[in-house]
Amino acid sequence: QVQLVESGGGVVQPGGSLRLSCAASGFTFSSYGMHWVRQAPGKGLEWVAYVRNDGTKKYYADYVKGRFTISRDNSKNTLYLLMNSLRTEDTAMYYCAKDDCSGGNCHPGDWGQGTLVTVSS
Amino acid sequence: EIVLTQSPDFQSVTPKEKVTITCRASQSIGSTLHWYQQKPDQSPKLLIRYASQSISGVPSRFSGSGSGTDFTLTINSLEAEDAATYYCHQSSGLPPYSFGQGTKLEIK
């Protein structure tokens, strides 16, 4: 069965950096694109970033573009999110999610349990 | 960027009632609209994909319809376990993608 385990969250000061990881198992990681989605406390879901299965194409939401970098290591079955220049409004639970696709169009299918990032001085 | 607007934001309903949640897109997205259920302190779960395709393991009382800009999630004969927040999500074309603001369903 698909398992996605996020880690790397914590408390960081504004302007700081953090790297999140998502360890994948139970499927052929290198065959699927992966998403990061976040949820601020008490708020709704926000799509953050996407990387294709081979890592060649990456896409970002405007509110993180230029500050966050999504990447993956298919040899380690791991997805990453490097977050720089963090702001208080980046405080959220960060989820990784595996692609669910049909006819070349994809969306988040299976989700991890999330890792909490708190940006505060 | 495509904006998704859900209605209502909150609904209080009784068991066995029929519930309808709508999602409107700011431009046509074909059928690239998906529905998720999130229960308190849990991760989101995919309920309906591509507007109307059912997901294995999801109860048959959940169904979806629509295309273009207007979409509907219907829950027939609501059960207590359906208390959750429901989100629509669009994956039209290349990212960035977006979610609706969510609809919180309370069971009376």
Q: What pLDDT, on a 0 to 100 scale, did the predictor assign at position A105?
A: 84
Q: Which are the contacts of A75, defined by CB distance < 8 A and separation ≥ 6?
A: none
- Residue A45, min C-alpha distance to chain B (Å): 6
Q: From the list A44, A59, A114, which residue is nearest B101 (CB)?
A: A44
Which residue's entry shows tokens 């309370």? B106
Closest C-alpha to B4, from B85, B83, B103, B105: B103
- Residue B8, min C-alpha distance to chain A (Å): 14
> Residue B91 in contact with residue B32, Cβ under 8 Å?
yes
Mean pLDDT of the B43-68 span? 97
CA separation (Å) from A27 to A19, A98, B82, B101? 23, 10, 29, 31
pLDDT tier, B30 (very low <50, low <70, confident <90, very high otherwise)? very high
Q: What pLDDT, on a 0 to 100 scale, did the predictor assign at position A104?
A: 78
DSSP B19: E
Give the type of residue at A35. H
Q: Read off the pLDDT of residues A21-34 as tens digits, 9 standing for 90 and up.
A: 999 999 999 999 99
Q: Do B1 and A109 touch (CB under 8 A)?
A: no
Radius of gyration of chain A (CA): 14
Which chain B residues contact residue A102 at CB under 8 A? 49-50, 53
